Structure 1
Amino acid sequence: MSNTVELLAKDLNGNGGVYCPSAKADMKLWNSHPKVYLDVASTGEAKCPYCGTEYKLKAGEHVGGHH
């Protein structure tokens, strides 16, 4: 059961990434997997190796220093 989460640049942390599980993916921490850091800024998307959730930067969004 794969889920895709569209992100705005402001949703990323200072390193250009997010953590999964994420509240944005409507996940409950108690029934998920270990917290994992995903680098979204470098390619505009990242997929969680545990649950398969895909995090994608919304079209037109740019992260400072990453284009």
Structure 2
Amino acid sequence: MTQAIVELLAKDLDGNGGVHCPNPKADMKLWSSHPRVYLDIAHQGQAQCPYCGTVYQLKAGEVIHGGH
């Protein structure tokens, strides 16, 4: 099975440098596929959802401004 990879722009991240999964950008059939979980993207540039395995990663060349 192939993992879904969702590329994000810096503007897609919330004020804390993360996103929630399920996420509309992941093009999931049901928004309630699993409980909503926060994923921190800012620190490592990517994170994987522990429920569905979707990988959210910062698009190449994107820079996160401000934050921590």
Same fold (TM over 0.5): yes
Identity %: 66
Runs ≥4 in structure 1, deviation > 4 angstroms?
Answer: none
| Unaligned segments of structure 1, at least 5 residues | none
Q: What residue identity is the alignment partner of 1:51?
A: C
1:29 counterpart letter in structure 2: W
Structure 2 gaps of 5+ residues are: none
What letter is aligned with 2:52? Answer: C
Quick one: distance in 2 between partners of 1:4 and 1:42? 18
Which one has a larger percent helix, Structure 1 or Structure 2? 1
Cα-Cα RMSD? 1.2
Deviation at 1:64, TM superposition (A): 1.2
TM-score computed with the length of structure 1 as normaliser: 0.90
